[in-house]
Amino acid sequence: MTRLILASGSPYRRDLLQRLGIEFECCSPDIDETPLSSESAEDLTMRLAKTKAHALAERYPAHLIIGSDQVALLDGEPVSKPGNHAEATIQLRRSSGRCITFSTALCLLNTANGRLQLAVERFHVTFRKLSDDSIERYLHAERPYDCAGSFKMEGLGISLFASLRGDDPNSLIGLPLIRLCDMLANEGINLP
């Protein structure tokens, strides 16, 4: 069986891929993630997902390499990882009663034959009206400072939402597993 490489240092993506019960290695590629001038957020994620996979191709010449990248947008503006409590508070206040759209690009590169599969999964998160007290309680409970949008959907963050729309909720965490299963099947790896 072809060996599988996850081109990421993200513990969230690693944990998601472990759900599939297949062996893989993680290797974080060193790439420049600076947006190109006039590049849309979605184009940026697709380019970075491909770049991450290609960056490891020489090191792993007979492997399947998974690259993924994500952008979150609120009113067309990127929503980043807050990094601290104050920034997370600002993000959640801005998101209150509104919708953030996540676009997660997924690339699977077969380095043995050069075949590349690429897709983008969109997921829409509509927040409840959030009071300052509810924001404080949530941030103190979960501390999602390393998560775009200042929440962990897989944890208590679910309590912040009015609705979710999209095909694969895993794409919110950074790795669309449903689409990945299809891509792996195209490479002869069938799950379960």
* Active-site entry in 69, 75, 146, 168: 69
Global confidence as pTM: 0.91
Percentage helix, strand, coil for the chain under 3-state DSSP, each rounded to 5? 35, 25, 40
Cα separation, 71 vs 151, in Å, equals 14
Going from the C-alpha of 189 to that of each of 20, 78, 120, the distances in angstroms are 11, 35, 21
- Computed on alpha carbons and rounded to an integer, the radius of gyration of the chain in Å comes to 17
Hunting for tokens 């990127």 — which residue is that?
Answer: 78
Q: What's residue 1's pLDDT?
A: 46
Q: Could you tell me how far CA 154 lies from the centroid of its own chain? A: 13
| Known catalytic membership, residue 69 | yes
Q: What is the pLDDT of residue 2?
A: 56
* Domains, in order of start, for the chain: 3-186 (3.90.950.10)
Distance CA 149, CA 147 (A): 6
Q: What is the pLDDT along the chain (192 residues), one digit of tens a residue?
A: 459 999 999 999 999 999 999 999 999 998 988 888 889 988 999 999 999 999 999 999 999 999 999 999 999 888 999 999 999 999 999 999 999 999 999 999 999 999 999 999 999 999 999 999 999 999 999 999 999 999 998 899 999 999 999 999 999 899 999 999 999 999 999 888
